[in-house]
Amino acid sequence: MTKRRDRGDGGIDERGKNSWRLRYRVKGKRITQTFHGSLSDARKELRRLLKSGDDGTHVAPDKITLGQWIAQWLAIGAPGRRQRGVGGRALARYGQLLRVHVVPVLGSRPLQQIQATELDALYCKLEGKVAASTAQYVHVVLGSCLSTAVRKGMLAVNPLERAEKIPSPGEADHGTVLDQDQLRTLVEGFRDSVLFPIVAVAAFTGARRSEILALRWSDLDGKAKTLRIERAVDHVTGQALALKAPKTARGTRTITIDDSLLALLTAEREKHLRLIAGVPDGVAVDLSLVKLPADALMFPNPPAPGEDFSFTRLRNPNTTTTEFKKRARKRGFDLRLHDLRGTHETLLLDAGVPVHVVAARCGHDPAVLLRSYAKRTRKADTSAAAVIGMMAGNILKR
């Protein structure tokens, strides 16, 4: 007689080609779920499920789809490894990437049935259709989404860990870096523009655009010659501008400025004091008793025709960059406002300022700074070639 199969061993029933029904029990509860693959793989999966029941790591079957889980993940702030939600702008970008590139392809698939081969197929479809950096960004965001599902006990393993067609980020575009002469020419070209103080702060502090537009006059310490970075403008498409904490914990910092930049900002502050006092430029008056609002911005949004001047209305970051690019192009420069940050960092590095000092000044991780921004201008490369030439000449002449 054939020995009767113990019900604790579970069972496998064929449902179709490469489709199997797995039956097993966990803590006395009968569970049935579908598996797609070969019979050999189905047996391995059944053994894994039985073992997970014994180990206490079993993940109960759930009919939630990948699309539904993505919506839930975004609704709770898209937490990552540190179990913290991301900022509003990042959250909007994550949602856009997943809804455009992932949900139409895999959104209707049950979350627990997503296979690594399906993810490989998804990445193959993206190849050549979107930029390499975008495809890699989709991979990173989807990986974070699925890792959260594993952490919450909704998935046993992250199928991305078995994927083979991981998108390559390609060559990153870190923008344009100017040398000292080019930077001087560019900044001088803005002297008769309302953007001049903004461009000067970007060029000579390395602060981010969103940090500069969130500066208040209370952040300027004239005696110590410092600027305090404590906030940034949060710009999410379709939402009102708001203030948030800097991009990273390193972003909260104090930056030392030189006398020239201090004089420029002091003159800008005097213009604001004259506005409050109603005193036109050129009229001698004692402004020491005039006070600005505690939350007065250094670079508030200019009033539209017929509007009153507001010291607290945030300036739109995208509009500021657009205005900057138009004027810079007229001066022969094709670059973004953000490129002044990379220029600032690179010039300091080229001048021999230690990496950790530049990183602290700009609110960077030193490793990220070296990887992303430590580019060399043509002049720096020429200097390096000259040094090598001297070394080679001294050695080869012997």
What integer is the mean pLDDT of 226-236?
A: 93
Q: Is the pLDDT of residue 188 over 90?
A: yes
Question: Is there a contact between 233 and 288 (Cβ–Cβ < 8 Å)?
Answer: no
Quote the pLDDT of residue 212.
97
Q: Is the pLDDT of residue 108 over 90?
A: yes
Show the tokens assigned to 374. 């430590």
Q: Tell me which of 276 and 102 has the higher pLDDT.
A: 102
Show the tokens assigned to 356. 């950790």
Q: Is the pLDDT of residue 378 over 60?
A: no
CA distances from 300 to 264, 295, 308, 385 (A): 16, 11, 12, 46
- In eight-state DSSP terms, residue 85 is P
- Cα separation, 297 vs 311, in Å, equals 6
How would residue 75 be classed by pLDDT, with cut points 50, 70 and 90? very high
Strand partners, 322: none
SS3 assignment, position 340? helix
- Encode burial over 160-189: b for 16+ CB neighbours within 10 A, e otherwise: beebebebeeeeeeeebbbbeebbeebbeb
Quote the pLDDT of residue 58.
63
Q: What percent of the chain has pLDDT over 90?
A: 50
Pairing of strands 226-229, 220-221: antiparallel
SS3 assignment, position 353? coil
Question: Is there a contact between 26 and 8 (Cβ–Cβ < 8 Å)?
Answer: no
- Looking at residue 115, its amino acid is Q
Quote the pLDDT of residue 61.
66
Q: Is the pLDDT of residue 54 over 80?
A: no
Pick the CATH number of 66-162 from 3.40.50.720, 3.30.43.10, 3.40.50.2000, 1.10.150.130: 1.10.150.130
- How far does the chain reach from its first CA to its final CA, in angstroms? 94
Q: Is the pLDDT of residue 204 over 50?
A: yes
CA angle 57, 60, 64 (to 5 degrees): 130
Quote the pLDDT of residue 369.
83
Of 40-44, 209-213, 350-354, give the range with the top mean pLDDT: 209-213
Q: Is the pLDDT of residue 69 over 90?
A: yes
How would residue 381 be classed by pLDDT, with cut points 50, 70 and 90? low
The order of strands in the sheet holding 226-229 is: 220-221, 226-229, 253-256
What integer is the mean pLDDT of 102-114?
A: 92
How would residue 396 be classed by pLDDT, with cut points 50, 70 and 90? low
What is the chain's Cα-based Rg?
29
Q: Tell me which of 385 and 242 has the higher pLDDT.
A: 242
Quote the pLDDT of residue 397.
56
Q: Is the pLDDT of residue 374 over 80?
A: no
- Cα separation, 251 vs 288, in Å, equals 32
- In eight-state DSSP terms, residue 37 is S
Q: Is the pLDDT of residue 232 over 90?
A: yes
Quote the pLDDT of residue 388.
58
Q: Is the pLDDT of residue 202 over 90?
A: yes
Element at 139 (helix H, strand E)? helix 132-151
Question: Is there a contact between 142 and 185 (Cβ–Cβ < 8 Å)?
Answer: no
How would residue 1 be classed by pLDDT, with cut points 50, 70 and 90? very low
Quote the pLDDT of residue 189.
94
SS3 assignment, position 244? strand
Mean pLDDT, all residues of the chain: 86
- Cα separation, 391 vs 394, in Å, equals 5
For the chain, give percent helix, strand, coil, nearest 5.
50, 10, 40
**For the chain, domain boundaries:** 7-55, 66-162, 180-337
Quote the pLDDT of residue 2.
40
How would residue 182 be classed by pLDDT, with cut points 50, 70 and 90? very high
What integer is the mean pLDDT of 352-378?
A: 80
Show the tokens assigned to 254. 């104090």
How would residue 3 be classed by pLDDT, with cut points 50, 70 and 90? very low
Q: What percent of the chain has pLDDT over 70?
A: 87
What integer is the mean pLDDT of 197-207?
A: 96
Q: Is the dihedral of CA 372, 358, 202, 211 positive or negative?
A: positive
What class is the 180-337 domain?
Answer: mainly alpha
Of 112-116, 142-146, 161-165, 271-275, give the range with the top mean pLDDT: 142-146
- Cα separation, 98 vs 137, in Å, equals 10
Which of 71-75, 155-159, 223-227, 299-303 has the least mean pLDDT?
155-159
Quote the pLDDT of residue 128.
84
